[in-house]
């Protein structure tokens, strides 16, 4: 009886979570593989421009964890990645580098406005993660490509993965 009760409670708790948290985590990829995947995704979109953004979730995570110290930091990080993946899905996606960087791809008919994008990400996250965190998921660096090539994207990504940009705990 106790196991049935536990199973039914877990089912209800899973069902009440927003769908953005039920996605699979993006796979971590090596830099060269990541640049190929990102370039292919941007070409598949048939958009005129592709903007790569190095995301910095640390301020958001730090503030959320200080507001809710009982939360497991790794679970919050994973939920944040899932939520960001849902946000960026329509424009390109979120990608994880094996060195710890989080990269967002925004494909469109014009270059992405990173200040506006950062504001939109913040509003989206406050709906699902916590309204207590006013710190944004910052866009540390970005670059727009009008003809995405894996080599150019790898060069940009290599600059992001210089060690100082690692977001691993």
Q: Name all domains of the chain by residue range, CATH numbers in brackets.
A: 24-160 (3.30.70)
Q: What is the pLDDT of residues 18-74, one digit of tens each?
A: 666 667 788 899 888 988 898 888 888 888 999 999 999 998 888 888 888 888 888
pTM score of the predicted model: 0.79
Q: What is the pLDDT of residues 75-112, one digit of tens each?
A: 888 888 998 999 999 899 999 998 889 999 999 999 99
Q: Concatenated DSSP letters for 52-111?
A: EEEEE-HHHHHHHHHHSTTS-HHHHHHHHHHHHHHHHTTTEEEEEETTS-EEEEEEESS-
Mean pLDDT of 108-125: 91
């Amino acid at each position: 009886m106790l196991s049935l009760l536990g199973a039914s409670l877990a089912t209800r708790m899973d069902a009440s979570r927003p769908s953005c948290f039920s996605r699979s985590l993006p796979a971590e990829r090596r830099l060269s593989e990541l640049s190929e995947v990102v370039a292919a995704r941007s070409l598949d979109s048939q958009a005129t421009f592709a903007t790569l953004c190095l995301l910095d979730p640390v301020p958001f995570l730090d503030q959320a964890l200080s507001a809710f110290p009982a939360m497991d930091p790794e679970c919050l990080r994973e939920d944040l990645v899932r939520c960001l993946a849902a946000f960026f899905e329509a424009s390109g996606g979120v990608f994880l580098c094996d060195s710890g960087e989080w990269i967002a791809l925004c494909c469109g008919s014009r270059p992405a406005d990173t200040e506006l994008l950062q504001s939109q990400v913040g509003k989206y996250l406050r709906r699902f993660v916590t309204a207590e965190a006013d710190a944004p998921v910052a866009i540390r660096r970005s670059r727009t490509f009008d003809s995405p090539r894996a080599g150019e994207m790898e060069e940009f990504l290599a600059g992001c993965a210089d060690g100082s940009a690692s977001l691993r705990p």
